[in-house]
Amino acid sequence: MSKPTSKIGSGRFFLVFLVVALFIGGVVSFYASGHPDGLEFVAKSTGFLDTAKHSASAGSPLANYGVAGIKNARLSGGLAGIIGVLVTLLLAGGLFWVLRRRAGSDPGA
């Protein structure tokens, strides 16, 4: 016989999940590799990196994995990671909520 899940248990799980995700986004992400990604590495090694153009989002507040206007690289990158985690969780949670409501209103379900 399976044990029924409690609201307190799932609430605690989501709280721990949120804290771990924010820690990874805000602290651990600073220790990620400083080497360029694969595409940038290949462009540099084959000699066409100088022909690259800036993307349309190059001037955005979160460009280059940092928050514009914050001089401290560690703080800027950490805040960008935290903002990224929160935006991702909000979008995923919103999508989950919409799909769950939609599935619940299906008369054939």
The whole-angstrom separation of Cα 87 and Cα 81 is 10
DSSP H/E element including 32? none
If you average pLDDT over every residue of the chain, what do you get?
Answer: 85
Whether 65 maps to a domain, the answer reads: yes
- Range with lowest mean pLDDT among 22-36, 38-52, 60-74, 95-109: 95-109
Query: Containing domain of residue 88, as a range?
Result: 20-31+61-109
Angle, alpha carbons 56-62-67 (nearest 5°)? 145
Q: Which pTM does this prediction carry?
A: 0.70
The whole-angstrom separation of Cα 86 and Cα 2 is 33
Whether 87 maps to a domain, the answer reads: yes
pLDDT tens-digit profile of 2-47? 555 556 688 899 899 999 999 999 999 888 777 767 788 888 889 8
How far, in whole angstroms, is CA 106 from its chain's centroid?
Answer: 32
Are 82 and 24 in contact by the 8 Å Cβ rule? The answer is no
* 1 pLDDT above the threshold of 80: no
Whether 13 maps to a domain, the answer reads: no
**Cβ neighbours of residue 67 closer than 8 Å, sequence gap 6 or more:** 61, 76, 79, 80, 83
- Total number of domains constituting the chain: 1
* 49 pLDDT above the threshold of 80: yes
Whether 83 maps to a domain, the answer reads: yes
* 101 pLDDT above the threshold of 70: yes
Whether 24 maps to a domain, the answer reads: yes
Q: Which pair of tokens denotes residue 28?
A: 């651990």
